[in-house]
């Protein structure tokens, strides 16, 4: 998304224990919004420590259906089970992003698009997973709405970029305010 928007950047993955952060937040009774921001901040802090003075973007997303939090599926069976669980129901994608410089958070945003999956059949589900292959394992919802996954949905409400994993319009505004992008 950043590249398509004309923003120059380099990627530097952060190795944080996402499962431990999620367990900690669930045990403390914190909601997905707080946890998603904690994940984004943890990632940004780790990378910012390796790149002094750089602006570092951290982002994360948690899929919430009712009170259940979903992770990326481990295998195709888990992806199919997850999509069956979401089929015919609504869920939210809690999307958090922040920008750090050194150990200071300069900006943050949270977005919560709501999506309702249609009541698709088993034949569609099998064909979808076969066609998408490993891509279903790389997404918290086992779908990519920017691709074939859009066929899973009956209704989408909210920011498209946040569904893809980053509140891009808000981030671009921050970068313009900082003079990194032209106004």
Give the catalytic positions in this structure. Answer: 60
Q: Tally DSSP H helices, then E strands, for the chain.
A: 6, 6
> What's the chain's length in residues?
183
Asked if 136 and 79 touch (Cβ cutoff 8 Å), the reply is yes
The structure tokens listed for 176 are 């313009």
Tokens of 108: 């943050």
**Distance linking the first and last C-alpha atoms of the chain:** 19
Q: What's phi and psi for 178, nearest 5 deg?
A: -85, -5
Q: Which three-class secondary structure state does DSSP give residue 104?
A: strand
* 168 token code pair: 């891009």
């Amino acid at each position: 998304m950043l590249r398509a928007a004309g923003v120059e950047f380099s990627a530097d993955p952060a190795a944080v224990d996402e499962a431990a952060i999620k367990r900690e937040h669930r045990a403390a009774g914190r909601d997905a919004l707080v946890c998603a921001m904690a994940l984004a901040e943890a990632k940004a802090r780790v990378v910012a420590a390796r790149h002094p003075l750089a602006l570092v973007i951290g982002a994360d997303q948690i899929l919430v259906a009712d009170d259940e939090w979903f992770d990326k599926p481990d295998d195709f069976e888990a992806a199919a089970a997850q999509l069956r669980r979401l089929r015919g129901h609504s869920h939210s994608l809690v999307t958090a992003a922040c920008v750090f410089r050194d150990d200071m958070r300069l900006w943050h945003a949270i977005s919560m698009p709501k999506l309702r999956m249609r009541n698709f059949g088993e034949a569609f589900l099998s064909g979808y997973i076969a066609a998408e292959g490993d891509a279903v394992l790389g997404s918290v919802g086992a779908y990519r709405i920017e691709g074939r996954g859009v066929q899973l949905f009956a209704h989408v409400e909210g920011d498209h970029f946040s569904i893809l994993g980053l509140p891009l319009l808000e981030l671009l505004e921050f970068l313009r305010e900082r003079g990194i992008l032209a106004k």
